[in-house]
Amino acid sequence: MLVLSRRLRLGAVLLVFGALSCRQFRPAEDRVYTIGYNEAPPYYSAAAAGKPRGFVCDVMNEAARRLRIRLQWVPVTGRPQDALTQARVDLWPRMSRTPDRLRAHHITQPWMKLSFSLVTIDTRGTFAPPSVKPLAIGNLAGDSTMAKSLFPNRTLLRHSSIEQALEALCRGDVDEAMFEYRRGFDAIMRRPEVCQKINLTMVPLEASILPVGIASTQEAAAVANAMHDEISKMLPDGTLGRLQAWWFHEAPTETQTLMESAAAQRTANIMLACTALLVVVLGVALWQAVRARRSSKAARNASRAKSEFVANISHEIRTPMNGVMGMTSLLSGSELSDQQREMVDTIQTSAASLLTVLNDILDFSKIEAGKLSLESSAFDPKEIVQGVIALMSGTAVQKGLYLAQDYDSGIPARLMGDPARLRQILNNLVGNAVKFTAQGGVRVSMRLERQGEHPLWVRIAVSDTGIGIDPESARNLFQPFTQADATTNRKFGGTGLGLAISRQLVELMGGEIGLESKAGAGSTFWLLIPFEIAAAPATLPAGDAGAPAAPVVPGKVLLVEDNLVNAKVAERLLAKIGHTVHVAHDGEEACNMALREMYDVILMDVHMPGMDGFEATAAIRKAQGRGPRTPIIALTASAMDGDRQRCMSAGMDDYLAKPIDPERLLSMVSQWISESRRSEVSTLGTRNS
């Protein structure tokens, strides 16, 4: 009975919690909410039977009908904020969110925005000097507020109606009048008698946007919020569009912009929160996989399966990350205030840090799944060391540390190996040395260890004067998710994957990695790696040395991307430097467009519903036959080894992993456009000969 009683109590608590969590706005059945209006056609104006008519009236009435809220429209003379303060009305349908009004009343987020225009007498063909007469405005507070903001040095002549202001303009009392655009247009269409034979011109004013929300008394705040939310639902279902088309004969672009901006902000916040949560979940999953791997062969297989899962899910992480980082990059290039730029810089830094964590997790999962392979190309080892030191020098200078190098002149100028992975290892070791050193500095040395042998064995050492590591902690330091002790993880941060990844990379290179350290006496991390000597590079013709790079030639680009955010990012980046961009949202549409028009380059997303990027590429190559071959660059969030080769085998010409680096994207597109143009010239020359 005791157990049953506890279960009943628990069930009751869950039911109450569920009921509270599902609670929605419920208006009082016997309450009538008064909502004010004044003469401001076409938004609202008095009509027959004392009921106002207009666009705003229709929107408010429809929202109230859906919410079962009873409204009573009340005509108001004087200022709307006074009517709210004196409790003559509960609601006002549109009011700008100025600081003084927000202190006195509740105002929802904007649901529409107003723009303003300057009305003048058409003087085309004659010279019109700048006006020194007063500026005529209408009777609403918004007219006065915007006029003072845009024309602080002009004398304002306020009239009791827009019609009277137009009459003053037509009589010559003033040279210009300023009205809210739609109210002004409505008044001009119903122009007063004195203006019948006069041509009037409306000139839109830049930076004259005034967002407005629903204002209310504090007691009616819940009603105002519910109506705002209901209006936002009227946009996707087409109701708002029909009302705006009926009253203004135009699409709801302004309201849609505000609603979509708010929705995009909510989506971005949710996406960032989910990404952060996913990283935590992945970290826990990997930690559990490592523990299970030590117990039995079955557990090791489970660890490998989880690592493969991480590699696959990274595609889903990189796709929204591409949107976050791309849109932030575009935003940073726009005009921002100092405070806004500081916030954008913070987002970029945080996104880059999150991407570093994701890359570490992905590298670790590649290694665990046995899917990480090394490249082999010629590189300059001295250049690698100098590049790492240059990258870390800024942080070292900020901490007051020296950063030095010792380089053995006997090391050949060109070696064969994987320069990107070697740079990754050194970045990790030197970065850790700078992070854990408070005084003194860091020294990087590179020398031949076993001269005369083949291959060459090169020893690289990173020494610091930092906190040092005791022998017991050093034994586990190269294990995943491990740092010297728990306090350093909190003080200095980090996932604990860097050294584990470095050890795995060194072992894949056929080398060794080790540590010499004492607590409080600094540390030396060393690598011993075999390299082959690379052949000397071919000598460039004398005329090519130092030749300036060819200017970027704008080209015609076909962008194939099913994700709307990523498509918008790439389209704006390319259009910004002069490229003409056409967008296809699936493989079938891309094939039709590629066969209908000639493009200089095609950017092809790989994973799409229906016909994917591989199938689309194969279809395009088959249709082109032996004719001109349009370069196709793969855009994919799949970053595992083998993905690049799969794209090349499918007929693509290059590969770019998401999140996309804007500079790398633009450089790669320009390179392939130039190559495409050279191929066209060569083909024409062959045909003419």
- pLDDT higher at 299 or 332: 332
Compute the average pLDDT of residues 305-319. Answer: 63
Instruction: Between 278 and 80, name the one with better pLDDT.
Output: 80
Burial of 320 per CB tally in 10 Å (0-12, 13-18, 19+): buried
Supply 456's token pair: 């060459």
- pLDDT score at 65: 94
- pLDDT value for 676: 77
Task: Looking at 215-252, list the stretches that DSSP marks H as alpha helix, in order from N- to C-terminal side.
Answer: 221-234, 239-248
C-alpha closest to that of 214 among 69, 106, 100: 106
Alpha-carbon distance of 193 to 245, in angstroms, equals 28
Q: 103 to each of 81, 85, 329, 338, 423, how far by Cα in Å?
A: 11, 11, 36, 26, 56
- The yes-or-no verdict on residue 295 having pLDDT over 70 is no
Highest mean pLDDT out of 211-220, 274-283, 461-470: 211-220
DSSP classification of residue 12: H
Surface-to-core class of residue 94, CB atoms within 10 Å of its CB (0-12 exposed, 13-18 middle, 19+ buried): buried
Residue with structure tokens 């294990």?
479
CA 536, CA 534: separation in Å to the nearest integer? 6
Paired with 529 in beta bridges are 458
Of 19-33, 301-315, 415-429, 497-511, which has the strongest mean pLDDT? 415-429
Q: Which residues of 672-688 are buried (b: 16+ CB within 10 A; e: fewer)?
A: bbbebeeeeeeeeeeee
| Beta-carbon count within 10 A of 596 CB | 7
The three state secondary structure string of 292-332 is HHCCCHHHHHHHHHHHHHHHHHHHHHHHHHHHHHHHHHHHH
Here the tokens at position 483 are 């740092």
The pLDDT tens digits for 355-386 are: 666 666 666 666 666 666 778 889 999 888 88
What average pLDDT is seen over the chain?
79
In the predicted model, what is the mean pLDDT of residues 105-134? 78
The pLDDT, as a whole number, for residue 261 is 57
Distance CA 607, CA 613 (A): 6
Q: For 641-651, what is the mean pLDDT?
A: 80
- The reported pTM is 0.42
Residue 298 has pLDDT above 90, yes or no: no
| Confidence at residue 262, expressed as pLDDT on a 0 to 100 scale | 61
Ranges 28-42, 104-118, 254-268, 352-366: which has the least confidence: 254-268
Distances (CA, A) of 29 to 68, 69, 295: 8, 8, 66
**Reading across the β-sheet that carries 200-204, which strands appear in turn?**
156-158, 135-137, 176-180, 116-121, 200-204
Contacts of 7 (CB under 8 A, 6+ apart): none
434 touches 446 (CB < 8 A):
no
548-557 pLDDT tens trace: 444 567 889 9
pLDDT attached to residue 129: 59
Residue position matching structure tokens 């006002």:
92
Mean pLDDT of 488-511: 71
CA distances from 523 to 437, 438, 441, 484, 526 (A): 10, 13, 11, 12, 10
Distance of CA 679 to the CA centre of its chain: 36
Residues 449-472: b if buried by 16+ CB within 10 A, e if exposed: eeeeeeebbbbbbbbbbbbbbeee
Report residue 574 as tokens: 């390319």
Using 50, 70 and 90 to split pLDDT, how confident is the model at 500? confident
Which pLDDT value is given to residue 632? 92
**What pLDDT is attached to residue 503?**
86
> In sequence order, what are the beta bridge partners of 462?
444, 525
**Section 39-44 average pLDDT:** 86
| d(C-alpha 185, C-alpha 60), whole Å | 23
Residue 4 has pLDDT above 90, yes or no: no
Give residue 584's identity as a one-letter amino acid code: A
Local confidence band at 643 (pLDDT 50, 70, 90 cut-offs): confident
Position 501 scores a pLDDT of: 82
Q: Which structure tokens are listed for 583? A: 């967008």
pLDDT of 1 higher than 70: no
Q: Which residues contact 393 (CB under 8 A, 6 or more apart)?
A: 403
Dist CA 13 CA 3 (whole Å): 15
Whether residue 559 is predicted with pLDDT greater than 80 in this model: the reply is: yes
pLDDT level of residue 188 (50, 70, 90 thresholds): confident
Question: What's the rounded mean pLDDT across residues 98-125?
Answer: 86
**Is residue 552 a contact partner of residue 536, using CB atoms and an 8 Å limit?**
no
Say what the pLDDT of residue 21 is: 42
Interval 379-421: pLDDT, tens? 999 888 888 888 888 888 888 999 988 988 888 889 999 888 8
Tell me which of 4 and 197 has the higher pLDDT. 197
Is the predicted pLDDT of residue 613 greater than 70, yes or no?
yes
pLDDT of residue 91: 96
pLDDT above 70 coverage of the chain, percent: 75
What letter does residue 484 receive in the DSSP assignment? Answer: S
Say if residue 628's pLDDT is above 60.
Answer: yes
| Confidence category of residue 115, pLDDT binned at 50, 70, 90 | confident
CB under 8 Å to 515, separation ≥6 — which residues? Answer: 469, 474, 477, 523, 524, 525, 526
Q: Tell whether the model's pLDDT for residue 11 goes beyond 70.
A: no
Kindly give, in sequence order, each residue whose CB lies less than 8 Å from that of residue 214, ignoring residues fewer than 6 positions away. Answer: 91, 92, 93, 94, 95, 107, 108, 111, 224, 227, 228
Say whether pLDDT at 539 is over 80: no
What the block records as the tokens of 499 is: 């050294």
3-state class (DSSP) for residue 398 = helix
For residue 402, list its beta bridge partners.
441
From CA 554, how far away is CA 582, in angstroms rounded?
A: 14
**Residue 246 and residue 228: Cα distance in Å, rounded?**
21
Using the CB atoms, write b or e for 259-288: b if 16+ within 10 Å.
beeeeeeeebeeebeebeeebeebbebbee
Rounded to an integer, what distance in angstroms lies between the CA atom of residue 607 and that of residue 634?
10
The confidence score (pLDDT) of residue 543 equals 38
Beta bridge partners of 210: 114
Residue 244 phi/psi, 5-degree rounding, is -70, -35
Amino acid identity of 161?
Answer: S
| Two structure tokens written together for 376 | 């082999």
Residue whose tokens read 């349009």: 630
Q: Are 593 and 584 in contact (CB under 8 A)?
A: yes
Residue 130, pLDDT above cutoff 50: yes
For residue 247, give both structure tokens. Answer: 């009253």
Per-residue model confidence (pLDDT) at position 336: 77
